[in-house]
């Protein structure tokens, strides 16, 4: 996990400072990212996605449109799936962020959802994948918190939250079905 802040609980790491001469107001923020405290000075207009990618070094979050449509940049903010291209860095002061890098321990096994994506060949170029993974992770956690069962059609509807240009979605749907305990319909065993 290149560029990940220190994972020692309670430690505060300083994100890379802004480049020269950014002519907008600055804000001091403290935010928990993947379990680590991060303190940073950020400009008013800095996108959360750019903060995560270029200041904190967590490049697993990808920008596919910067317009809130494609879902590739989805991260979890206080447990909710958020398009990190539609949120500004100053808005996350005091909040807890999780990115794709947090879904599995660096040397540990993949999460159930990640594992299903590889089993079902649910990714090709992999650019949109972190968005799907974060979106499905939030979806699963929210349902669990609410004690709610997820139906297959709920799951199908959730998949419309992100774009994928490579897979035609069929294997993403299979992966999601496998991860959520439904019959994947896989034909390759």
Partner 1 sequence: MAESSDNGPTVKTPFIGQSRLRVEDDRLLRGDARFVDDLDIPGALEVAFLRSQFAHARIDRIDIAAALESPGVVAVYDGNFVSGHIKPLLNAEELRVPPGIAALNPVNKLQPAPILATDEVNYVGQPVAMVIAESRYLAEDAVELIEVDYHELPAVMDPEAALLADAPLALLGEDNNVGVHVRHGVGDVDLALSSAAVVVEETFATQRYVCAPMEPRGLVARNDPFTEALTVWSTTQTPHRVRDHIAESIGISSDQVRVQSVDVGGGFGQKGILVVEELLIPFAARDLGRTVRWIADRYENLTADAHAREQIHHITLGADADGRLVAVRDNIIVNLGNRNMVGLVVPYNALCHLVGPYRAPNVDIETTGVLTNTTYTSPYRGAGRPEATFAMERAMDRLALELDLEPSELRRRNLITADEMPYRTGILDRRGVPQEYDSGDYPQMLDRAVEMIDLDSVRAAQATVSTGQSHDRSTTWRGIGFAMYLEMTGLGPFEGARAEVTPAGRIRLFTGAPSQGQGHRTVFPQILADALGVRPDQIDVVAGDTDTIPYGVGTIASRALVTAGNAAHQAGINLRARILEAAAEVLEANPADLDMADGIVSIAGSPSVELPLADLIRSIPKQLGGSGSDGLGETSYFQPPNYATASGVHAAVIDVEPSTGRVTIVDYVVVHEAGHIVNPMIADAQVVGGVGQGIGGILCEHMQYDDRGQPLASTFADYLMPVASMVPDIRMDEIVCPSPTNPLGVKGLGEGGAVGPPAAIANAVEDALRNAGRTDIVIASGPLSPSRVLDLLREERHPSP
Q: Measured between alpha carbons, how far is 189 from 178 in angstroms, rounded to an integer?
A: 12
- DSSP strands (E only) in 59-98: 74-77, 80-83, 96-98
183 binds partner 1, rule: CB under 8 A:
no
- What is the DSSP code string of 108-124? SPPPHHHHHHHHTT--S
Q: Please choose, out of 5-13, 90-98, 127-135, 142-150, the segment that lies near partner 1 by the rule CB under 8 A.
A: 127-135
CB 128 within 8 A of CB 83: no
Cα diameter, the chain: 56
9 binds partner 1, rule: CB under 8 A:
no
12 binds partner 1, rule: CB under 8 A:
no
44 binds partner 1, rule: CB under 8 A:
no
Q: Is the dihedral of CA 45, 126, 74, 92 positive or negative?
A: negative
Q: Measured between alpha carbons, how far is 83 from 113 in angstroms, rounded to an integer?
A: 19
Q: With respect to partner 1, which residue has the nearer C-beta, 83 or 147?
A: 83
126 binds partner 1, rule: CB under 8 A:
yes
Q: With respect to partner 1, which residue has the nearer C-beta, 150 or 166?
A: 166
3 binds partner 1, rule: CB under 8 A:
yes
Instruction: Give the binding site for partner 1 (CB under 8 A).
Output: 1-3, 18-23, 43, 45-46, 53, 57-67, 69-70, 72, 99-101, 103-104, 106, 110, 114, 117-119, 121, 123-130, 133, 156-157, 159-160, 163-173, 185, 187-189
């Amino acid at each position: 996990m290149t560029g990940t802040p220190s994972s020692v609980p309670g430690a505060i790491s300083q994100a890379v400072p802004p480049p020269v001469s950014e002519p907008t107001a600055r804000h001091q923020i403290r935010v928990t990212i993947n379990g680590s405290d991060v303190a940073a000075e950020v400009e008013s207009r800095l996108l959360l996605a750019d903060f995560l990618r270029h200041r904190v070094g967590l490049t697993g979050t990808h920008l596919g449109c910067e317009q809130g449509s494609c879902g590739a940049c989805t991260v979890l903010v206080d447990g909710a799936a958020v398009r990190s291209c539609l949120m500004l860095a100053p808005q996350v002061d005091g909040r807890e962020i999780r990115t794709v890098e947090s879904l599995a321990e660096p040397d540990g096994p993949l999460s159930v959802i990640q594992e299903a994506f590889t089993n079902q060949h649910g990714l090709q170029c992999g650019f949109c994948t972190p968005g799907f993974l974060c979106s499905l992770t939030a979806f699963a956690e929210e349902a669990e918190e609410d004690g709610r069962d997820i139906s297959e059609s709920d799951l199908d509807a959730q998949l419309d939250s992100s774009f994928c240009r490579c897979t035609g979605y069929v294997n993403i749907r299979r992966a999601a079905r496998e991860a959520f305990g439904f019959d994947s319909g896989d034909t390759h065993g």
